[in-house]
Amino acid sequence: MKKLLSRVRAAVDRYDMLPDGCTVAVGVSGGKDSLALLVLLANLRKFYPNKFTVKALTADPCFFGEEGDFSAITGLCESLDVEHIIRRTSLYDIIFNQRQEKNPCALCAKMRRGILHNMAKDAGCDSVALGHHSDDMAETVLLNLFCGGRFDSFSPKSYLTNKELYLVRPLIFCDEAQISSFAERHGLPVVKSRCPADGNTERARVRSIMEALKSQYPDIKAKLNNAALKL
């Protein structure tokens, strides 16, 4: 845990992600990344100079009309002394039944962001922490280049003026392999995605391209991330 905590603290310090007295909402989907972020921030608050509060927010898409089982995550939150707030939504019904989207990911992501931001405001949070790591950043560069024709990625810290919320990404200096190892080693209660589009997305295709590039350019991820952070 110490190695990942040091990387999280480095990101938090460099981009001033956790000002004194803030309340940060961790968007917990049930995946390994968001769960690892939750555990790391809950531990960071024990010794970080700035005092901050952590809350866990889960927007349940209710896949196939059924409520997701997040009881194990609630149990984890209780062990960490973190409030876990779950909001049941109609995301699955709207996207797959009502609209019957052939390419549902973009709309789903947009709607989930809106729900999460509203939940954070309702919970009295100043910021939302997302579990995007260094692999996500590099893949987003390629995704925007291939699909949008622009060189861009997400920012470590940004401000939503319409919601008066900061978005922070404390895992940007952490590799996915490190997070996977951490999640397995600590037995984090990962909830497998039930999304019908899981694994069949543009991001999944870009991830395959990235892996192929690494065989010829081993430092491609680092170079993409360095370029993105200079934008």
pLDDT of 133 > 70? The answer is yes
Domain count across the chain: 1
Beta-carbon neighbour count of residue 197 at 10 Å? Answer: 16
- CA distances in angstroms from 121 to 23, 34, 86, listed in the order given: 10, 19, 14
CATH of the domain at 184: 3.40.50.620
Q: What is the pLDDT of residues 69-83, one digit of tens each?
A: 999 999 999 999 999
Distance CA 165, CA 15 (A): 15
Mean pLDDT in residue range 139-143: 90
Pairing verdict, β 127-129 and 157-160: unpaired
Domain that holds residue 22: 2-229
Instruction: Name the percent of the chain lying above pLDDT 70.
Output: 98
In 151-193, beta strands by DSSP E: 157-160, 165-168
C-alpha 216, offset from chain centre = 29
pTM for this one?
0.91
pLDDT for 199: 64
User: What's the pLDDT tens digit per position in 43-52?
Assistant: 999 999 999 9
Please list, residue by residue across 155-187, b when 16 or more beta carbons sit within 10 angstroms of its beta carbon and e when fewer do.
Answer: bbbeeeeeeebbbbbbbbbbebebbeebbeeee
Phi, psi of 27 (to 5 degrees): -75, 105
Torsion, Cα 29 35 39 44, to 10 degrees, reads -70
Q: Which residue has the higher pLDDT, 64 or 83?
A: 83
Mean pLDDT of 138-143: 90
